[in-house]
Amino acid sequence: MLSAGKEEVLTDSYGRTVRSLRMSVTDRCNLDCIYCHNEGHIGHNKEMSIDTIVNIVDVASQFGVDRLKFSGGEPLLRKDLEDVLARLPGMKDVSLTTNATLLRNRAFSLKDSGLKRVNISLDTLDPDKYRSITNCKKGTFDKVLDGIHEAVDAGLTPIKINMVLLKDLNDNEIEDMMDFTSSYGGDVILQLIELMDFRELPQYRIDSDEIESSLLDASSEIRVRELHKRKKYIINGAEVEFVRPVDNTEFCANCNRLRVTADGKLKPCLLVSDNLVDVSHASKEELPDLFRLAVSRRVPYCRS
């Protein structure tokens, strides 16, 4: 265990201190997005128990990690997420990223259990295009919209709409999406995401510099986030963030995130798979050293 009263943080050999945990809680998903990176790991349907999740988060928070994001797969396929949330230590930020198809009936119970906010994946406002990107059943798009409304009502805000930009598929919808998000006042923010091409889909790769310069032209103010030095543009009062992970040394140099796979492995980097640290059967006493080991394996994927 960490010694009482001593504040140890997890800093890697590149001077990057881990402040956030991105934890996949299941590999199962009810959609099949054409570009999905599956958080860089398939755990063959093994899922951590509530106790394992809580122990990992507890130990991380003793190391000063104060932000947690649940991901997947689709995290809302886990029916015990509220039970997990209710047992977590106090943290600055507890969020999850979801496709929102199952959010309508869960938003209030998630909020009541301690979830602070949600990121919702929505790449298009066109139901037919939505079906072709996500391979979903008819009617799913409406469920997502209902989920967004419910999340706003439940106060899971600010909600970020995650829109992965796909050339000639949805890159003409940025303005419509800005109108959609700003129609919720400050409760919904647009987060544009550069495609990480895990599936050999070069036809969908966008020109990020071009997009960035059009955001720059349209913006009245730019803010820079600590995580990954991501830029936020203020455009007509709306916030638009552009996440550019591809070939971006600044992104990696400012990465403060450690990942946990659904089957209970600490994963130092989305793009690296041969350096995982298995904590699925670790006791709480063993966890601190395993965290230190994982952090010692953190290397910026992209560096100059």
Give the type of residue at 244. R
Q: Does position 95 bind ligand SAM by CB under 6 A?
A: no
- Number of residues in contact with ligand SAM under rule CB under 6 A: 18
Which pairing describes strands 20-24 and 265-267: parallel, antiparallel, or unpaired?
Answer: unpaired
Q: Does position 178 bind ligand SAM by CB under 6 A?
A: no
Spell out, one character per residue from 100 to 139, where the chain touches ligand SAM: x when CB under 6 A holds, - when not. ---------------------x------------------
Task: Tell me which H or E stretch contains 50.
Answer: helix 50-62
E strand intervals along the chain = 20-24, 67-71, 93-98, 117-121, 159-165, 188-194, 221-224, 231-235, 238-243, 257-260, 265-267, 277-278
Per-residue burial over 235-269, b if 16 or more Cβ lie within 10 Å, else e, is beebbbbbbbbeebeebbbbbbbbbbbbbbbbbbb
Nearer to ligand SAM (CB atom), residue 13 or residue 132: 132
Q: Does position 301 bind ligand SAM by CB under 6 A?
A: no
Q: Compute the distance between CA of residue 129 and CA of residue 94 in angstroms, rounded to an integer.
A: 31
Q: Which residue in 184, 285, 197 sits closest to 245, CA to CA?
A: 197
Q: Which residue in 36, 145, 293, 302 binds ligand SAM (CB under 6 A)?
A: 36
φ, ψ at 272 (rounded to 5°) = -125, 135
Q: Which residue in 97, 181, 182, 248 binds ligand SAM (CB under 6 A)?
A: 97
Q: Which residue in 34, 125, 145, 196 binds ligand SAM (CB under 6 A)?
A: 196
Nearer to ligand SAM (CB atom), residue 133 or residue 287: 133
Residue list 150-169, contact with ligand SAM (CB under 6 A): 162, 164
Q: Does position 293 bind ligand SAM by CB under 6 A?
A: no
Burial of 174 (0-12, 13-18, 19+ CB in 10 A): buried
Q: Which residue in 193, 211, 218, 272 binds ligand SAM (CB under 6 A)?
A: 193
CB 35 → ligand SAM: shortest distance, Å?
A: 4
Contact in structure between 68 and 91 (CB atoms under 8 Å): yes
Q: Does position 27 bind ligand SAM by CB under 6 A?
A: no
Q: Which residue in 27, 39, 241, 263 binds ligand SAM (CB under 6 A)?
A: 39
Spell out, one character per residue from 198 to 237, where the chain touches ligand SAM: x when CB under 6 A holds, - when not. x---------------------------------------
Q: Which residue in 53, 65, 81, 195 binds ligand SAM (CB under 6 A)?
A: 195
Tokens of 94: 């507890």
Q: Does position 248 bind ligand SAM by CB under 6 A?
A: no
Count other Cβ atoms within 10 Å, centred on residue 298.
23
Contact in structure between 84 and 50 (CB atoms under 8 Å): yes
Q: Does position 34 bind ligand SAM by CB under 6 A?
A: no
Site residues (vs ligand SAM, CB under 6 A)? 29, 35-37, 39, 71-72, 74, 97-99, 121, 162, 164, 193, 195-196, 198
